[in-house]
Structure 1
């Protein structure tokens, strides 16, 4: 059974294509964390590049007295050729200080091009600063399949969703062996929250496909968000990352998560929807700013 990780990019900055409320208030973040704790959800995904996310988490964890219970995944920024082991160590120690913890649950490199630094992360793990190490990667299934062979890698975080199935292939999911797979971008950075008829000009080619997926969800008594979440659960990842801008969003995510994978019949109908996409449409870093 997959574990739910609370994505916290929203906690430190404005995030998501459909985010109309902006960065949530500290009160709202606290409510989300309190609800998560009450439901024994203790995993959080953050990064140095997520604005004030680490500081906000550390403050609230301390106030609630749960900093020894929570399990935080954070990420070090993209490395440069001049970065030394000491600079990486210092970056990690600053994250630990901001999060008000003694040890990170997991430390990931935030760019797949930094995979050569996994050896440096191994040294950080041996020093006791984190329990697990890994890599956050992109949309290239060939690279992701190959990097799973790296002996230093324990965790691989990949994007996947109803529209972007590039990483939902056997040579990644079935060959992970001793590695653990984390799936992010379940809602494609909020794209599924936009009604198909009001998509931007850029995303308008997705209208017909999104209408078909919305109809499948409706036929089985779901919204597209529940369909999207349970679709990924059907591929049996170890963790999934879900962000929330409000307590209600988190509560909905949690309810859908608890319903587990889709029935085979529904999964078959989703996978039967044919599409030929320009990958730029489903790759957030390629979207117009």
Structure 2
């Protein structure tokens, strides 16, 4: 499998709500949020990641899209997500209409005629309703309301199950320097062979960037791994943000990386690191040996809300 050029997308959940362990500023003002969106395009991020449940974020992106159309600029790709159907106890007889209504509501908020990538936000919907949710996604794709379909997952088992469908175009997975679950065996290779792989949670909701002494008590188990990570970064003479970004970027099989920020300055810094020198094979191996059994992603998502 050859290494494809990694592209970059902006996660927008934090533009419409307070989100993330390390969020210091809360929900940004609309002025700052729009500035972040403008800068994302300037810096080469070609995709905006949102969700139907993030109404404020979708509406903000919609206003940004109108601004781009008015100025004759090209539009970014949009990734959005279908809210959990299983959790809402939808009757299967109206399943297709519920999916279609969710898509059209997002399109209205986004001021778009089609969503580029539409994902199941709840991976359990891969199994729910006897597979009819995937059939509904295929139908709205056929109707031209969405261009590509897929799923956002949290676990290896969910990703493995997604592979079995054979009709999904994209999958979004959590992966970072302290969460190597998807690097075990050849799972990432198999995923990349069948669909585009979007990496999210590359900072583990900000935990990866925290100093050990800043870690809250309910996540105290992360302090020792963070101390090891800081020592490695010091040895490499690179910052934790730089190494965290470079590690995911240099993995084989990642098509697009979704990054999140709180300010234009933070986004500028992150994208500077996106062009940092590659980590050597030796360093990549050392990182995988240091943290391969950590499964910090599972630990974190069991103690704070799942990243959306």
What range is the shorter-chain TM-score in? over 0.9
Do 2:82 and 2:120's aligned partners in 1 also have CA atoms closer than 8 Å? yes
Distance 2:44 2:206 in 1: 25
- Tell me what 1:252 maps to: 269
Aligned: 1:143 with 2:171: no
Matches within 5 A, 1:41-60: 41-60=45-64
1-side partners of 2:135 and 2:231: how far apart?
47
Q: TM-score, normalised by structure 1?
A: 0.92
Counterpart Cα distance in 2 of 1:227 and 1:247: 20
Change (3 A) 1:227 1:279: closer
Which residue of structure 2 lines up, in the alignment, with residue 266 of structure 1? 283
Candidates 14, 38, 42, aligned match of 1:38:
42
Q: In 1, Cα distance between the equivalents of 2:296 and 2:207?
A: 14
Secondary structure (helix, strand or coil) at the match of 2:181 reads: coil
Q: Point out the more displaced range, 91-100 or 227-236.
A: 227-236
Secondary structure class of the residue paired with 2:97? helix
**Equivalent residue number for residue 94 of structure 1:** 105
Work out the CA distance in 1 between the residues paired with 2:199 and 2:255: 8
1:21-170 to structure 2, matched below 5 A, reads: 21-65=25-69, 69-80=75-86, 81-82=90-91, 84-115=95-126, 116=131, 117-139=133-155, 141-170=156-185
Match of 1:234 in 2: 250
For residue 60 of structure 1, report the CA deviation from its aligned partner.
1.7
CA contact (8 A) 2:203 2:244 kept: yes
Range with greater deviation from structure 2 (162-171 or 17-26): 162-171
What displacement does 1:275 show? 6.7
Q: Secondary structure at the match of 1:167?
A: helix
Residue in structure 1 matching 2:234, options 189, 196, 218? 218
| Unpaired segments ≥5 residues, structure 2 | none
Measure how far apart 1:50 and its partner are.
Answer: 2.2
Q: TM-score, normalised by structure 2?
A: 0.87
Q: How far 1:70 sits from its partner (Å)?
A: 1.2
- Aligned partners of 1:278 and 1:166: how far apart in 2? 6
Task: Name the structure with the higher helix share.
Answer: 2
Question: How many pairs does the alignment contain?
Answer: 287
Cα deviation, residue 31, structure 1: 1.7
Native 8 Å contact 1:158 1:184 kept in 2: yes
State the 1:258 CA deviation: 2.0
Matching residue of 1:2: 6
CA RMSD of aligned residues (A): 2.0
| Contact persistence 1:155–1:180 (CA under 8 A) | yes
Contact 1:202 1:281 in 2 (8 A): no
Q: 2: distance between equivalents of 1:109 and 1:191?
A: 26
- State the distance in 2 between where 1:112 and 1:7 align: 19
Distance 1:280 1:172 in 2: 17
